[in-house]
């Protein structure tokens, strides 16, 4: 995320790339903390498709004829509307991508999503699918399981602790499904 340098999580991406090489299509969905130039450059070299939500202060070039940068917050449409931009540039490095912006009814925050694919309304649905697992991350990190407050800093010990959490989650899920049936 924003607090972890790209070079720190790059080896994990390389390993995932290797592990997922047999899949025909992989789509990476990332939150604002991962919106950075190095990550996008790496993704462009990978076979993966990607959608990354960007912070509101992200500089976007190419949406107006004069070539000035606009911050994403200046480009958001009215409530209930979306704007789709093809071939814009992001940040001062001018990384080329596509941009999808939406101000959805019933959603507190506006979404600005950069992607390698042509943006459509489907882009928002596709990005929104990451929220199915977001609750799991929140529960693991600072919620029920409190991994963030565990003060475990050793990688091996953290993996073991997360394995216990994953088993507990699996047990709770299976039990809940059995009760529901």
pLDDT tens sequence across 54-64: 988 888 888 87
Residue 78 pLDDT greater than 70, yes or no: yes
Among residues 71, 51, 54, 181, which one has the least CA distance to residue 125? Answer: 51
Structure-block tokens of residue 52:
């990354």
Whole-model pTM: value is: 0.75
The pLDDT value recorded for residue 1 is: 53
Q: Cα separation of 56 and 7, whole Å?
A: 24
Residue-wise burial string across 92-125, b where 16 or more C-beta atoms lie within 10 A, e elsewhere:
eeebebbbbbbbeeeeeebbbbbbbeebeeebbe
Residue 130 pLDDT greater than 70, yes or no: yes
- H helices of the chain, in order, are 6-19, 37-45, 72-75, 122-128, 131-141, 155-180
């Amino acid at each position: 995320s924003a607090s972890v340098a790209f070079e720190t999580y790059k080896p994990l991406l390389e390993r995932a790339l290797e592990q997922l090489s047999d899949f025909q299509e992989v789509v990476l969905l990332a939150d604002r903390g991962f919106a950075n130039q190095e990550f996008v450059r790496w993704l462009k070299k990978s076979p993966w498709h990607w959608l990354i939500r960007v912070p509101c202060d992200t500089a976007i070039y190419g949406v107006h004829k004069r070539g000035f940068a606009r911050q994403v917050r200046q480009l958001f449409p009215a409530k209930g509307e979306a704007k789709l931009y093809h071939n814009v540039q992001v940040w001062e490095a001018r990384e080329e991508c596509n941009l999808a912006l939406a101000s959805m009814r019933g959603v507190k925050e506006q979404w600005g999503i950069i992607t390698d694919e042509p943006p459509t309304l489907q882009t928002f649905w596709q990005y929104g699918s990451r929220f199915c697992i977001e609750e799991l991350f929140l529960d693991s990190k600072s919620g029920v399981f409190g991994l963030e407050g565990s003060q475990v800093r050793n990688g091996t010990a953290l993996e073991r602790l997360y394995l216990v959490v994953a088993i507990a989650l699996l047990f709770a899920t299976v039990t809940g499904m059995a009760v529901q049936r």
